[in-house]
């Protein structure tokens, strides 16, 4: 493998670093992400990654660092050629990055919303899947935001792209899953991600009581 740094790769990295360092808080790495309707509800959790500290798989990965994160989740990048930039992105100019987001909980999972933002080349959107056990589930991608940097075709040009995927795991009785995805080419700078999970609501005590009483009256009625 040729690991020499081309002018285009160095320029792309320089532009990515410069642009990220001057953006305002409103235009930070999570720009373009949406807030799922269930975020903040009882029985929902969220994990957010804005600045990464681990570039390659070390058995632990990156813990969520955005304020308010309360989900048990880890984001891991597997290709050994990647490194963390000064702005906290995971960048790989020599090979295609490969990622996993691992999640676990004590309650059954219902709705899952995953969002990711990249700079430079983009993800292989067809590679995104959610896995539990031997089951793989794909999802339709929604493009949330695209901000061009520089002139297309010139060294160092590219685009910040934000994407979203959703899965409904209600009724599958699972409490852990993995979201895996990969880069479409070299020179992908992985900027940020969020994971929102809504657990399957437990039946309310009053609802359970009402169901039990209804069943009791039904049985008594049939005995008359």
Q: CA 180 to CA 101: how far, in whole Å? A: 6
R_g of the chain computed on alpha carbons: 22
97 part of a folded domain: yes
CATH number at residue 173: 2.60.120
pTM of the entire structure? 0.79
The answer as to whether 57 is a domain residue is yes
**Residue 217 placed within a domain:** yes
Taking a C-beta distance cutoff of 8 angstroms, is the pair 11, 155 a contact?
Answer: yes
Does residue 222 have a pLDDT over 80?
A: no
The predicted model gives 59-76 an average pLDDT of 95
Q: Is residue 2 part of a domain?
A: no
Q: Which domain holds residue 70?
A: 7-223
Q: Which residues contact 90 (CB under 8 A, 6 or more apart)?
A: 52, 55, 77, 82, 83, 84, 97, 189, 190
| Domain tally, the chain | 1
Task: Give yes or no for a contact between 156 and 14, defined as CB atoms under 8 angstroms apart.
Answer: yes
Q: What confidence tier does 207 reach under pLDDT thresholds 50, 70, 90? A: very low
Q: Give the Cα separation of 83 and 78 in Å (integer).
A: 11
Residue 191 lies in a domain: yes
The verdict on residue 15 lying in a domain is yes
């Amino acid at each position: 493998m040729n690991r020499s740094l081309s002018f285009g790769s160095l320029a792309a990295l320089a532009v990515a670093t410069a642009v990220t360092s001057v953006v305002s808080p409103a235009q930070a790495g999570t720009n373009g992400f949406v807030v799922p309707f269930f975020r903040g509800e009882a029985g929902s959790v969220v994990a957010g990654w804005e600045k990464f500290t681990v570039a390659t798989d070390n058995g632990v990965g990156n813990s969520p660092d955005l304020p308010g994160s309360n989900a048990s989740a880890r984001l891991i990048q597997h290709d050994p050629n990647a490194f963390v930039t000064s702005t906290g992105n995971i960048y790989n100019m020599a090979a295609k990055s490969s990622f996993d987001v691992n999640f676990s909980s004590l309650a059954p999972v219902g709705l899952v919303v995953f969002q990711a933002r990249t700079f430079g080349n983009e993800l292989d959107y067809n590679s995104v899947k959610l896995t539990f056990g031997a089951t793989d589930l794909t999802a339709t991608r929604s493009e949330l935001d695209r901000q061009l940097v520089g002139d297309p075709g010139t060294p160092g040009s590219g685009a910040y792209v934000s994407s979203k995927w959703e899965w409904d795991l209600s009724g599958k009785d699972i409490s852990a899953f993995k979201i895996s995805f990969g880069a479409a080419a070299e020179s992908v700078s992985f900027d940020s991600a969020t994971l929102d999970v809504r657990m399957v609501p437990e039946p309310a005590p009053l609802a359970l009581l009402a169901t039990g009483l209804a069943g009791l009256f039904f049985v008594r009625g049939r005995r008359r």
